[in-house]
Amino acid sequence: MMTIIVCTEKLGDLLIKLFFKYILIRCRFYFVLFYRAVLVRIWKDCVTGLSREERTYQYVLTHATPGDPDSILEAFDVWCSKVEFISTIGPKKGKILDRLLMELSPMTVLELGAHCGYSTVRIARSLPPGARIYSLEMDQRNAAIAEKIIRLAGYDDDTVELIVNPSDEVIPRLRSDYGLERLDFVFMDHWKKCYLPDLQMLEGSGLLGKGSVIMADNVLFPGAPKFLRHIRKSGLYEWKVHRATLEYSKGIRDGMAELVYQGIK
């Protein structure tokens, strides 16, 4: 009986060790992300007295060539992958976006969530001459950084108009205040909880025409389940999800949703 009890205890200890080992292996990428995105940020905020976005801009300013969008993006990618994590679309998912823009050649683009301007620059360099981006950013401090990055890359107000306001205030006024008649391409990379209500506002605005394309980042992580449920059930779109990993991370599955508007049926 004593032998059975001892063996049972050892088996229990072994199972506990295996369980924690499994958790560590399975979740190690999330631990790394938490360390880089949260703990490092808090520490550097205290040490430098600057925001993460301001630190990013300082690095790009000193390591990139003004007027060269490729150099701007390369400096961003080095900073985000090797120095300090910041959420942008990144180079791998960025190539999917690049390829789609090259195929479509949209003339009027709406970006929801400029953040530091990385995706804005990435979009702008892939557009045909005469195209214009209306880029929304609700955070004034981030918008100030984005403005500097966009102008550093060589894009003026005729190519990129940065609008500092929440999306739910701007979208209903795009036609009246900005003279837009149609959106050829929409890129969503702001708060994931805003994806669905903003898409529904766009559907009701009359700015989406047959063939208008919407691309939404991070639909799998952190995820936008209500958004995905809507596009599956609405019947308004042809759609697919481009599988990828989270920007500047390994082992965290993510994806970008590509929607082609088919109009009201």
Residues that are catalytic:
189, 192, 217-218, 247
Bridge-based pairing state of the strands 253-261 and 237-245: antiparallel
Q: Which residues contact 179 (CB under 8 A, 6 or more apart)?
A: none
Rounded distance between C-alpha atoms, residue 216 and residue 45, angstroms: 30
- Element holding 170 (H helix, E strand): helix 167-170
Radius of gyration from C-alpha coordinates of the chain: 22
Report d(CA 59, CA 252) in Å as an integer.
26
- The 10 Å Cβ neighbour count of residue 26 is 10
Provide the sign of the torsion angle of the four alpha carbons 240, 230, 127, 245, taken in this order. negative
| DSSP per residue, 4-65 | HHHHHHHHHHHHHHHHHHHHHHHHHHHHHHHIIIIIHHHHHHHHHSS-HHHHHHHHHHHHS-
Contacts of 162 (CB under 8 A, 6+ apart): 114, 120, 135, 137, 143, 146, 147, 150
